[in-house]
Amino acid sequence: MLIAKVIVDVPTSQTNHSFDYLIPDHLTELVKEGVRVSVPFGPRKVMGFVIGIADQSEFNKLRPVDQVLDMTPVLTPELLELGKWLADQTVSFYIQAYQAMLPQVLKAKYKKEIESLTEDPLPYGLDKLFAGRAVIDFDEFVEREGNYRDLLKSIHEGIVQINYMVQSKETVKKVAFIEPDKELYLLEEALIDLPKNAQKQRVILEYFLNDPLPVQKSKLIQQCNTTASTIKALIDKGLLKSVEKKLYRNPYNDDSFERTTSLPLSSQQKQAITPIWQSIDENMNDVFLLHGVTGSGKTEVYLQAIEKVLEKGKEAIVLVPEIALTPQMVRRFKGRFGGDVAVLHSALSPGEKFDEWTRIHKKEVRVVVGARSAIFAPFENLGIIIIDEEHETSYKQEEQPRYHAREVAKYRGEFHHCPVVLGSATPLLESFARAKKGVYQLLEMPDRMNEQEMPPVEIVDMREELHQGNRSMFSRRLLEAVKLRIEKKEQVVLFLNRRGYSTFVMCRECGDVMKCPACDIALTFHKSSHQLKCHYCDFHIPMVRNCPTCESDQIRYFGTGTQKVEEALREAVPEARIVRMDVDTTRRKGAHEKLLNQFQEKKADILLGTQMIAKGLDFEDVTLVGVLAVDAMLNLPDFRSSEKTFQLLTQVSGRAGRHKLPGEVILQTYSKEHYAIELASQYNYEQFFLQEMQMRKNFHYPPYFFLTLINVSHPNQLKAMEVTKTISRLLYKHLSDSVTILGPTPSPIERINNRYRYQCMIKYRDEPDQRKVIRKILRHYYDEIQKNDLTIQVDFEPYQLM
C-alpha cells in the first residue's frame, strides 16, 4: 500500500512536520500531492494536506487516510514547495503557510454536496445513490460507501459537480433570466401585430429576434432601457418566460464594462515597456522597478505587458493595494481583458472569493487582479507578476505567516522564469536602493500623461497661524481656497491622517517634537507614568511642561479624529456639502462605493477622509487638495515615518488636476522645514531618497541594517516583561557579536485587550542563523504558549512597529 505524507491542521511546533498515513485501496487514485484529506489524529479526525506520496514508511502501524476532501489538488507542486519556503522564512508552521494560500472556504470545514448536472440517469453506481434526487450530501456519499473512482470519472465528464456549502443561502445564487417562450417566427408575428403605441414591448421583442439566448433580467432592462412591467406584459402574453438560473457569484458583472483597446504608447511608456516585453519574450526572471509619477500612465504599461503575456498563452498576476482596488481600478482591467479576469478582494464574501478562486483553479481566467493574497493564485504557467504601488505596507501580512507579497512574487518569478514588475511613484527606499545598485532594473517615467505639471503645493505654517491668533485647525488660506472652489462649483479633497494613535508631543509655538537622541524616533507620551518614552530603546524622561527649545508652554500631545474635523468644517463652511470617508463610515459593505459615487456625481463639494482616499481615485473636478495634519504621520514612532509622509503627500497631491482643470495643493504643518515635507512639495523623490538614505545610514536602519521585531504579550505585565528580558538575553548569547538588541521596552501600544505588550528588536547586517535561534527560543516557550496566555510574535523586516 502507498503512504501519504500529510501536514495536519494542528498548528504547534511539535506537530510541524509531515505524518505518514496508509492510502486505502479505494482512495489510491484520489490521494495525490496537493489534495486535502481527513485523517485520524489521536482520538479525533483532522484536516491535512498531502505533500508527498511514498512507497514505504519508517514507522510501523500506520493508520489509514479517512477521507479525501478534494477531487483535484488545491495546491500545485510549486505552491507546495513555496509553502515550505514561506514557513521557514517567517518561522511559522507549514499548515499556516498552506492555509494562507487558499480561500477561507477551503480552510474551514464547510459541508459539501454533489450535484447532478444531467437529466439522464447517472452512470456507474451513482444513479442508485442519487435515487432520483438532483443533489445529495457528500457525507451521504461517504457513509454509503459511494465509489470514488466513479465520482471522479463523472466529475471529469462534467455530469456531476461538487458544491461547497459556504452559507446555505449564498452558495448558489439564482437569478431571473428571460428567454423566448415561443418559436422565433411566432415572436416575429407578434411583433407585427403589436399596436403602434407598444413601443417598449417592440424593443424587447426585437432584442430577442436578434439574439434569442436567455438573458439576465436586470441586464435586459438595462440594455433595452425598459421596465420590469413591460417584460411582464410580454410574459403574460406567453411570448417570453422567466426562468431561475444559477449564476456564478461574479461580483463584477463582466458585461457592464465597456471594452477598451490598447492606447498608442507615449515615448516614455515605450521606453519603459520595451525591456519588459523583451523579458517576457525571453522568459527572463528580471525584476523591474517602474518609477513613474502619478498620472504617468503606469497602468497602461501594465495592461500592454499583460497583453503580450496572454499572446504567449501565459498568465498574469496583478497586485493592487486593498484600498486601491476600487471599481475604477477593476474596470480598467476588465475593460481590457473582459471575462479573462478574476478579482480577489477582501470585501468579497467567502462564497464570492471562492468562486473567483475556482475560476482561476479551473483555468477559466488568465489574469487575476487582487490584494495581497492573490499572489498565491494557483496558476501554473505564469508570464508576469505586477505589483502596483509596491511601497504599500498592506503587502505585508500582519499575522502568521508574516510574509511580504513582494518576496513571494520574486520566488514565483524565479520558478516560472518570468519578470516581476514593481511599480510606484514613490518606491520603497529599499527598492529604489536595490534599483540603484542594479539588483532591479530601473525604469523611469518622469512626466504626466496629460503633459500638465504636477499641481503646485503651498505649505502653510500653522505656527504662524497661531501667532496671528487663529487657534482653529484650518488655516485662513485653506478656508479661503475651499470657499472659492465651492463658489466655482469645483470639488475639494481634504485629507487627514488616520485617526487614533497619535501621542507624540509637540510645541505649537516652535514646532519642536521631542525625540529620542539615539533612535531619532518621536517620543511617546504615557499617561499612566506621565513619561515620554522611546519605543525602540528604553530611553525615557518625565513629561515636560515647557518646550526645551523655546520655553513656551504651548506644548501638548496631538491627535484629531475625522469626525471632529467634520464638525469644525461644517461650522467654518456651512454651505459645503461634505462626504466623510473613514473606517467608521465605510464599515458596511458597499458603503465605500456609495460615498465615492455620491462625490463623483457631484452631490458633495468636499471629500474628507483618511488614508483610504489618498490612492487611485480620479475625479475630474477636484482642483484643490488640502492636507490637515501632516505632523501626526511625521511623528509616528516608526523609523519610516518620514518616508511614509513623503509617499502619502505625493499620492494625495496626485489627486488634484489630473484632467483639464489645473489643481492646487495646500499642506498645513508645524514642521515646514522638515525635508520630507519640503521635498514632497517639490515632488523631488530623488533628493528625498538621498537625504533619507543618509538618515538610515546614521541611525543604522534599513537598507543598511535589518530589523527583526519580537513582540511578547501576556495579561500579566510582569510576566510579559520578564519573558521579553529573557528572550533578549538568549538572543545576545546565541547570535553573533555584530547584532544590536534594542529593548526590552513596552510596545508603542502598551496594552491591547487587557494584554500587556513588550518588545525587543534585533538590528543586524547579516545573521544567517537567526531563524534557527528564534525557533529554538519559541520551542523553549512551547509549554507556556500552549497552557498559558503567553504569545510571542516574530516579525522579520517589520512594517508595523506598533
Which residues would be at the binding site for ligand ATP (CB under 6 A)? Answer: 263-266, 269, 292, 294-300, 425, 449, 616, 654
Q: Which of 328, 549, 716, 726 binds Zn ion (CB under 5 A)?
A: 549
Between 113 and 300, CB nearer to ligand ATP:
300
Cα–Cα distance for residue pair 431/390, rounded to 1 Å: 9
Between 407 and 512, CB nearer to Zn ion:
512
Between 291 and 406, CB nearer to ligand ATP:
291
Q: Are 148 and 27 in contact (CB under 8 A)?
A: yes
Instruction: Please report whether residue 634 would count as binding Zn ion according to CB under 5 A.
Output: no
Q: Are 298 and 453 in contact (CB under 8 A)?
A: no
To ligand ATP, the closest distance from the beta carbon of 298 in angstroms equals 3
- Using CA atoms, how far residue 669 sits from 126, 265, 485, 496, 571, in Å, is 72, 39, 22, 12, 22
To ligand ATP, the closest distance from the beta carbon of 294 in angstroms equals 3
Between 383 and 511, CB nearer to Zn ion:
511
To ligand ATP, the closest distance from the beta carbon of 11 in angstroms equals 39
Q: Which of 536, 675, 683, 758 binds Zn ion (CB under 5 A)?
A: 536
Instruction: Please report whether residue 344 would count as binding Zn ion according to CB under 5 A.
Output: no
CB atoms within 10 A of CB 245: 12
Q: Are 441 and 487 in contact (CB under 8 A)?
A: no
To ligand ATP, the closest distance from the beta carbon of 555 in angstroms equals 38
Cα–Cα distance for residue pair 154/117, rounded to 1 Å: 10
To ligand ATP, the closest distance from the beta carbon of 332 in angstroms equals 8
Q: Are 504 and 514 in contact (CB under 8 A)?
A: yes
Q: How far apart are the first and last CA of the chain?
A: 52
Instruction: Please report whether residue 547 would count as binding Zn ion according to CB under 5 A.
Output: yes
Q: Are 735 and 769 in contact (CB under 8 A)?
A: yes
CB atoms within 10 A of CB 423: 25
**Stretch of 95-103, 160-168, 502-510, 788-796 contacting Zn ion, by CB under 5 A:** 502-510
Between 146 and 297, CB nearer to ligand ATP:
297
Q: Which residues is 386 bridged to in the sheet?
A: 318, 421
The partner in contact with residue 509, picked from Zn ion, ligand ATP, none with C-beta cut-offs of 5 to 8 angstroms by kind, is Zn ion
Q: Binding site for Zn(2+): residue ranges?
A: 507, 510, 516, 519, 534, 537, 547, 550
DSSP string of 547-587, one letter each residue: -TTT--S-EEE----HHHHHHHHHHH-TT--EEEESTTTT-
The partner in contact with residue 263, picked from Zn ion, ligand ATP, none with C-beta cut-offs of 5 to 8 angstroms by kind, is ligand ATP
Q: Binding site: residue ranges?
A: 507, 510, 516, 519, 534, 537, 547, 550
Length of the chain: 802
Helix axis angle for 717-734 and 770-780, nearest 10°, is 140
675's CB contacts (< 8 A; 6+ apart) are 642, 688, 691, 692
DSSP string of 319-355, one letter each residue: E--GGG--HHHHHHHHHHHGGGEEEE-TTS-HHHHHH
Between 105 and 680, CB nearer to ligand ATP:
680
Instruction: Please report whether residue 741 would count as binding Zn ion according to CB under 5 A.
Output: no
Q: Are 360 and 329 in contact (CB under 8 A)?
A: no
Between 386 and 514, CB nearer to ligand ATP:
386
Instruction: Please report whether residue 631 would count as binding Zn ion according to CB under 5 A.
Output: no
To ligand ATP, the closest distance from the beta carbon of 371 in angstroms equals 16
According to CB under 5 A, which residues from 23 to 62 bind Zn ion? none
Between 263 and 591, CB nearer to ligand ATP:
263
The region that residue 455 occupies, defined by phi over 0 for left and psi between -120 and 50 for alpha, beta otherwise, is beta
To ligand ATP, the closest distance from the beta carbon of 263 in angstroms equals 4
Between 184 and 518, CB nearer to Zn ion:
518
Q: Which of 435, 445, 519, 727 binds Zn ion (CB under 5 A)?
A: 519
Instruction: Please report whether residue 509 would count as binding Zn ion according to CB under 5 A.
Output: yes
Q: Are 400 and 330 in contact (CB under 8 A)?
A: no
Q: Coil, strand or helix: which one is 404?
A: strand
Instruction: Please report whether residue 512 would count as binding Zn ion according to CB under 5 A.
Output: yes
Question: What is the DSSP secondary structure assignment for residue 683, as one 8-state letter?
Answer: T
Cell of 648: 502619502
Instruction: Please report whether residue 550 would count as binding Zn ion according to CB under 5 A.
Output: yes
Binding mask 170-209 for Zn ion (x = CB under 5 A): ----------------------------------------
To ligand ATP, the closest distance from the beta carbon of 193 in angstroms equals 49
Between 300 and 356, CB nearer to ligand ATP:
300
To Zn ion, the closest distance from the beta carbon of 636 in angstroms equals 14
Q: Are 237 and 167 in contact (CB under 8 A)?
A: no
The partner in contact with residue 510, picked from Zn ion, ligand ATP, none with C-beta cut-offs of 5 to 8 angstroms by kind, is Zn ion
Instruction: Please report whether residue 537 would count as binding Zn ion according to CB under 5 A.
Output: yes
The partner in contact with residue 795, picked from ligand ATP, Zn ion, none with C-beta cut-offs of 5 to 8 angstroms by kind, is none
The 3-class secondary structure across 31-54, one letter per residue, is CCCCCEEEEEECCEEEEEEEEEEE
- Residues found near Zn ion in the complex (CB under 5 A): 507, 509-510, 512, 516, 518-519, 534, 536-537, 539, 547, 549-550, 552
